[in-house]
A and B are shown apart, each in its own frame.
Chain A
Amino acid sequence: MIDLVAQSLFSGVLSGAYYALIALGLALVFGTMRVINLAHGELVLLGAYISYTAEEKLGLDPLASLPLALTLVVATAMAVYYLISLIKTDRELNSLILTFGIGVILTNAVLMIWSADIHSTTTPWYHDATILFDTLFAMQAELVFAALGIVLVGAVWWWLEKSWYGRALRAVASNRDAAKLMGVNPQLTEVLSFAVSGLLATVAGVAIYTAKVIQPSLGHHLTVKAFIITVLAGMGSVPGVLLGAVLLGVVESLTVTLASSALQELAGMVLFLVVLLLMPSGLFGRAKRRG
C-alpha cells in the first residue's frame, strides 16, 4: 500500500507541474489584464500541432520545434490581443465572449488542417521509463516537462517581481491611469503579457504532444483545467498556480489510487469548491479591503 500511495503522490506532483505549465499563461493574462482568455487551451493545442508537424514533416525533435512553434503561437496570441484591444466597453465580459469564439474558430481550424486523428511524438526516448528509488516510475517526458514547468513558474515569478517590465505589468493591472502617469505604456505592457502567455502556451503544447496524446477537441478541456487552477491559485499569484496545480494533481491521483479513477474529475471539482468556500480569493489571492 505504501508503494501505491508513494507512486500516486509522485504521479500527482508530475501531473501538477504539467497542469501548472498549461495554466500559467492563462493566469498571467488574467492577473495582469483581468481578461480570461478562453482561447488559451486552443493556443496550447496549436503549439502541440505545430510540434507534431515539425516532427512529421521536418523530422525535428519536439524540443527542437520550439522556435517554430513559438513564432506561430505568439503571432496568434498577438492577433487575439489585437482583437481584444478593439473592445471599448465592458472588456472583462466582452473579452470572454470574444475569446470563446476565437477558441471555437481555432479548434475548427486545427480540425480542418490536421484532421481529427490523434497524435503523439514518435521519439521513443520521451516514453522510456525512469525509476527512482526502485519504487517511483515516470516517463522521461514527464520528468523533463515537470522540471521545465517549475523553472518557468520561477522565471515568470522573478520577471513579474523583479524586472522593470514585470513591475510595469503589475502597475497597469493595479491602476492603469496611475501607471500611465508614471511613464508606463499600458498597451505595450499588455502586448508583452500576451506574448509571454503565448510563449508559455507553446511550451505547454510541446509538453502535451510529447507526454500525452493530442486531438482537436482537447483545447476546451485544457482551458477549463487552466481556469480551475487559476482560480484555485488566487488571481495574479504565480506561486499559487504551481501550488494549486500540484494540489489538483495529487488529489486526482490519490482519488484514483484510494477510490476510483471514475471519481477523479469529481474530486478535482470538490477541491475547487472547498477552496473557494474557505478561501474565496484563492490560495494566494489578496482579500479585498473593506471601506
Chain B
Amino acid sequence: MSKSTLCVSAVALSLMLGLAPADAAELKIGAEIPLSGNLARVGSAMNEGIQVAAEMFNKKNGKHTVKVLVVDDESSPAKAVGAVEKLAADGVIAYTGGYGSNIIGPASEAAEKLGKVYITSGGVASELTKRGLKTFFRINSSEGYARALMGMFSEVGIKSVAVVYSTKEATEEVAKMLQTGLGAKGVKVTMHAFDPATNDFKPIVHKIKLQDRPEAIAMIGYENDYVGILRAAKVLKPDIKTIAGVWSLATSKMAAEFPDLMENVSGTSTLSYPAVFTTPEAKEFAETYQKMFNKAPDYLGIFGYVQSKLLFDAVARAADAGTIDKGGVASELRKTKTESVIGKVSFDEAGDNPEFTHRMGQHQAGKVELVWPLEAATGKMKYPALPW
C-alpha cells in the first residue's frame, strides 16, 4: 500500500469515526405538556424553551443527540398520565415538561412507576416534593416566589397586605406562605380566596377598599385573574401604595397587551424587559430562541430551557456511564450543582432546588425593570406607585 493510499484511508476512517462514533446514540426524551386546554399558553411557551434546549444540545454535544417526543396532555391530569405512558411505550428515557401541580402530581407518579425521571418547572406546590419519589425533580418552588414577594414588601416597609388568591393548589400555597411569612414579621395580612372561574373582582376589591384598607395588594393567580383584579382596582381605586403579584405578571406579553393596566405593577421575574443577557449561555439561548420562534424568550421559555438542558446533560452522562437503565439519570441529576440562566440549581433528596429564589420586576414605561433584590436590580423601584 502506497503512502498516499494509506493517508487517504486513514483520513476516511477518521472521518467515518467522527461522523458515527461507536457509542453515539439518539436519546429519546418525552415532553408531556399542555398544548391545548386552559394551560395551552403557558404549556406552549415552556415547550418552546424545551425545543431550544434540544437544538442547542444537538449543536454542541458532539457525541449524543436528543430527540424530543411531544404529547399534549390537554391540561388534564388523566390525559397527562396517558401521555406519560404513551411516551414510555415510544421508548423515551425521561420526561421534561408538565404544568400545573394538580397535573404534574399524577403524571410524575406514573413516571416513577415506570422508573423514569420527570423534571419540571411548572408545579410549585410543596406537596409534590413530599411524596418520597426518587425520580421527581423541579428547578423552582413556591418558597422562591413567596420569598421574592415578601422581600420586596419588606424592603419598602409595608405594614399591611391584602392577599387576593385563586383557590388552585399552587396559588393557595404561595398565599398561605405569604400569610405566615408576613404575619411573622408583624405585617397585618387579610386573605381573599377566589374561585378560578371568577371574572368580576369588584366585590372583592370593594371589600379590600372599605374593610381592610391595606397598604398593598398581593395577587396570587394567573394572567386573566390579574387583568380582572387590576381592572376592578382601577375602577374602585383603593387607597393602597403598591400592587404586586407572582408568575406571568411582570412579562413583556403583559406589558404589550395591557399597557393601560400594568404601569408600576410588580411581579416575579427572571429577566428584565427588554431582556439583558449577560452570560454566554444566556446570550446563545436568546439568539437560538429568536431564530427558532422569531421573538424574544419569556420566563416560561427560560424555565423550560433550563430544566431540559439539565436533563439532557444528565441523560448524556448516564449514557456515557451505561447506567440509563440502572437509575443513572436520577443519580446524575442529583449530582447537578450549576449556575444556570435562572440562577443556582442543585437538587436535594426530594428533588427540590433549595437554591431557588425569584426576583421581582416592575412594569415601568412599557419595560420591566428588575427591582428586587438590589444586587440583581436593573432599575429603581417606584414606590408608592400605582397603575391609576
A residues near B, CB below 8 A?
3-4, 7-8, 11, 14-15, 107-108, 111, 115-120, 122, 124, 127, 129, 137-139, 212-213, 215-217, 221, 253, 256-257, 260-265
Rounded to whole angstroms, the CA-CA distance of A139 and B290 in the bound complex is: 39
Whether A262 contacts B200 by the Cβ 8 Å rule is no
**Which A residues touch B231, using CB under 8 A?**
127, 139
Whether A120 contacts B227 by the Cβ 8 Å rule is yes
Rounded to whole angstroms, the CA-CA distance of A30 and B203 in the bound complex is: 33
Q: From known contacts A111-B40, A138-B235, infer whether A7 and B193 are also in contact, taking CB-CB under 8 Å.
A: no
Q: From known contacts A116-B40, A215-B41, A261-B198, infer whether A124 and B193 are also in contact, taking CB-CB under 8 Å.
A: no
**Which A residues touch B192, using CB under 8 A?**
260-261
How many residues belonging to B are interface residues under a CB distance threshold of 8 Å? 39
**7 contacting pairs across A/B (C-beta < 8 A):** A3-B210, A11-B202, A138-B202, A139-B235, A216-B36, A253-B203, A262-B194
CB interface residues, B 221-236, toward A, < 8 Å: 223-224, 227-228, 231, 234-236
**Which A residues touch B40, using CB under 8 A?**
111, 116, 216-217
Q: Could you list 5 further interchain pairs (A-B, Cβ under 8 angstroms) beyond the known A4-B203, A116-B43, A122-B260?
A: A7-B206, A119-B257, A138-B202, A221-B197, A256-B194
Instruction: Output the nearest chain B residue to A224 by Cβ-Cβ distance.
Output: B197
Rounded to whole angstroms, the CA-CA distance of A265 and B197 in the bound complex is: 8
Q: Which 3 A-B pairs have the closest CB atoms?
A: A116-B41, A116-B40, A261-B194
Whether B198 contacts A129 by the Cβ 8 Å rule is no
**Which A residues touch B260, using CB under 8 A?**
122, 124, 127
Whether B235 contacts A137 by the Cβ 8 Å rule is yes
Whether a CB of chain A sits under 8 angstroms from the CB of B38 is yes
Whether A265 contacts B234 by the Cβ 8 Å rule is no
**Which B residues touch A221, using CB under 8 A?**
197
Q: From known contacts A120-B258, A129-B234, A213-B224, infer whether A115 and B41 are also in contact, taking CB-CB under 8 Å.
A: yes
Rounded to whole angstroms, the CA-CA distance of A116 and B41 in the bound complex is: 4
Q: How far is the CB of A213 from chain B (nearest CB, A)?
A: 4
**Which A residues touch B253, using CB under 8 A?**
117
Rounded to whole angstroms, the CA-CA distance of A107 and B37 in the bound complex is: 9
Q: From known contacts A137-B235, A253-B203, infer whether A261 and B195 are also in contact, taking CB-CB under 8 Å.
A: yes
Whether A129 contacts B235 by the Cβ 8 Å rule is yes
Choose from A8, A14, A217 the contact partner of B38 (Cβ within 8 Å).
Answer: A217
Whether a CB of chain A sits under 8 angstroms from the CB of B44 is yes
Whether a CB of chain A sits under 8 angstroms from the CB of B207 is yes
CB interface residues, B 124-172, toward A, < 8 Å: 167
**Which A residues touch B197, using CB under 8 A?**
221, 264-265
**Which B residues touch A15, using CB under 8 A?**
200
**Which B residues touch A4, using CB under 8 A?**
203, 206-207, 210-211
Rounded to whole angstroms, the CA-CA distance of A124 and B195 in the bound complex is: 27
Q: How far is the CB of B361 from chain A (nearest CB, A)?
A: 19
**Which B residues touch A137, using CB under 8 A?**
202, 206, 235-236
Whether A213 contacts B228 by the Cβ 8 Å rule is yes
Instruction: Output the nearest chain A residue to B38 by Cβ-Cβ distance.
Output: A217
Whether a CB of chain A sits under 8 angstroms from the CB of B75 is yes
Whether A118 contacts B223 by the Cβ 8 Å rule is yes
Instruction: Name the residue among A11, A124, A213, A253 with the largest chain B CB count within 10 angstroms.
Output: A213
**Which A residues touch B223, using CB under 8 A?**
118, 213
Whether B203 contacts A117 by the Cβ 8 Å rule is no
Q: How far is the CB of B251 from chain A (nearest CB, A)?
A: 11
Rounded to whole angstroms, the CA-CA distance of A8 and B200 in the bound complex is: 11
Rounded to whole angstroms, the CA-CA distance of A107 and B74 in the bound complex is: 12
Choose from B44, B227, B236 the contact partner of A118 (Cβ within 8 Å).
Answer: B227
Whether a CB of chain A sits under 8 angstroms from the CB of B199 is yes
Whether A256 contacts B203 by the Cβ 8 Å rule is yes
Rounded to whole angstroms, the CA-CA distance of A260 and B235 in the bound complex is: 21
**Which B residues touch A215, using CB under 8 A?**
38, 41, 224
Rounded to whole angstroms, the CA-CA distance of A111 and B39 in the bound complex is: 11
**Which B residues touch A3, using CB under 8 A?**
206, 210
